[in-house]
Amino acid sequence: EAQVTQNPRYLITVTGKKLTVTCSQNMNHEYMSWYRQDPGLGLRQIYYSMNVEVTDKGDVPEGYKVSRKEKRNFPLILESPSPNQTSLYFCASSYGTGVNSPLHFGNGTRLTVT
């Protein structure tokens, strides 16, 4: 089954403790991206990657890192999480960025930073 898989689904951590949220897709997609969803703010892009070893900042990249060493994986790294990073995070992928390449989303990771 074609899918985007995120882990974990739920995560509670404390301020400053480094964490990684994994994302993997099995559709051989070149493009991958991370979004965060917050009440009243909708979904905002954090980082994206056009292909292996090619990443770039989205609208809200502060406090996050990403890497794209393999085509299928695109982990989101929070080196020193803070409470304002408490949010619902979504990974997404697509073949490209063209008009016929809709984004496919994972089921989300709900992160709480205390």
Partner 1 sequence: GDSVTQMEGPVTLSEEAFLTINCTYTATGYPSLFWYVQYPGEGLQLLLKATKADDKGSNKGFEATYRKETTSFHLEKGSVQVSDSAVYFCALRQGNQGGKLIFGQGTELSVKP
Contact footprint for partner 1 (CB under 8 A): 4, 31, 33, 35, 40, 42-43, 45, 48, 50, 56, 58-59, 90, 92, 94, 96-108
How far apart (Å, rounded) are the C-alpha atoms in residues 57 and 46?
6
- Neighbouring CB atoms inside 10 A of 84's CB total 10
- Cβ-based nearer residue to partner 1, 35 or 75: 35
How far apart (Å, rounded) are the C-alpha atoms in residues 112 and 94?
28
- Cβ-based nearer residue to partner 1, 17 or 57: 57
- Cβ-based nearer residue to partner 1, 81 or 106: 106
Encoding tokens for residue 106?
A: 């994972």
